[in-house]
């Protein structure tokens, strides 16, 4: 019976639109719009109820350590600055781990560049098909030149299929991209190594341009020599 009842067409009851006399009030709110608005309203109402209940049952003697680690500014709790959360030894240890990761990535990229360069070199290294002929006079030289032009076949590059050429070109682009990545990683590794050394103990100063034998844009530091016991 249910299948027969669903087979009969029924009239679709639609919600009316805003009457023309009330167009100035905008769109007429439908039931689905009211349901969404009511759900949001009740959710906010429940949140306020829970907060009021929590405030009513608050323990005046309650204490936790975050209370002494924060301060109130204009009624807002602001935690203390955590800039010096780690000791100098911990910062150096974390910097060492970062440098190790950069160095590992740099070595892996260099190995890929070597492998890719070897493959491309073997592809481009075609055997030479040139022969040297010696002529007694100009007439014999012209004859040899005509003979060589007639016997000349297609060059090795013409024998390579088009899809192979596209792969080789893509490999060259990848090689250039990896080389630029290696240069960036080397700069990052040098900067991080310098920052790590500057965090260590010992008196040091930055050298001026007139003190450098080979002026460079990168900063150069000099450590004071200390006598080791």
User: Helix/strand/coil (H, E, C) string of 129-156?
Assistant: CCCCCCCCCHHHHHHHHHHHHHHCCCCH
Domain assignment of residue 108, given as a range: 87-122+160-197
| Res 53: pLDDT | 95
Q: Is residue 109 part of a domain?
A: yes
Q: Is residue 29 part of a domain?
A: no
CA nearest neighbour of 182 among 118, 103, 76? 103
If you count DSSP H runs as helices and E runs as strands, how many of each does the chain have, helices first?
6, 4
| Res 171: pLDDT | 86
Q: Is residue 106 part of a domain?
A: yes
Cβ neighbours for 203, distance < 8 A, ≥ 6 positions apart? 223, 224
Task: Write out the H or E segment, with its range, that includes residue 127.
Answer: none
Tokens of 221: 């530091």
> What is the rounded CA–CA span in Å between residue 25 and residue 177?
61
| Res 29: pLDDT | 87
pTM beyond 0.85: the answer is no
| Res 157: pLDDT | 54
| Res 204: pLDDT | 79
| Residues in the chain with pLDDT values less than 50 | none
**Contact yes or no for 221/206 (Cβ under 8 A):** yes
Q: Is residue 107 part of a domain?
A: yes
| Res 126: pLDDT | 56
| Res 51: pLDDT | 94
Q: Is residue 42 part of a domain?
A: no
**Contact yes or no for 54/165 (Cβ under 8 A):** no
Task: Write out the H or E segment, with its range, that includes residue 77.
Answer: strand 76-79
Residue 106 burial by CB count (10 A; 0-12/13-18/19+): exposed, middle or buried?
A: middle
What is the tens place of the pLDDT at every residue in 36-67?
A: 999 999 999 999 999 999 999 988 888 887 77
Q: Is residue 63 part of a domain?
A: no
Q: Is residue 178 part of a domain?
A: yes
Number of domains in the chain: 1
Q: Is residue 191 part of a domain?
A: yes
């Amino acid at each position: 019976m249910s299948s027969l009842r669903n087979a009969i067409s029924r009239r679709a009851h639609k919600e009316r639109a805003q009457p023309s006399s009330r167009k100035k009030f905008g769109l007429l709110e439908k039931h689905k719009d009211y349901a969404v608005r009511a759900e949001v309203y009740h959710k906010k109402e429940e949140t306020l109820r829970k907060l009021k209940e929590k405030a009513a049952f608050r323990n005046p003697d309650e204490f936790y350590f975050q209370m002494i680690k924060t301060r109130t500014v204009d009624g807002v709790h602001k935690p203390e600055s955590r800039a010096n959360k780690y000791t100098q030894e911990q910062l150096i240890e974390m910097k060492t781990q970062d440098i190790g990761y950069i160095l590992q990535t740099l070595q892996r990229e260099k190995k890929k560049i070597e492998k890719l360069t070897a493959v491309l070199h073997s592809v481009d290294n075609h055997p030479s098909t040139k022969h040297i002929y010696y002529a007694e006079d100009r007439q014999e030289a012209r004859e040899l030149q005509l003979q060589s032009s007639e016997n000349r076949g297609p060059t090795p590059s013409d024998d390579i299929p088009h899809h192979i050429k596209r792969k080789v070109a893509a490999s060259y682009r990848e090689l250039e991209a990896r080389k630029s990545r290696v240069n960036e990683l080397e700069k990052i590794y040098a900067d991080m190594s310098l920052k790590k050394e500057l965090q260590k103990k010992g008196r040091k100063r930055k050298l001026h341009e007139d003190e450098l034998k080979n002026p460079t844009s990168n900063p150069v530091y000099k450590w004071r020599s200390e006598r080791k016991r």
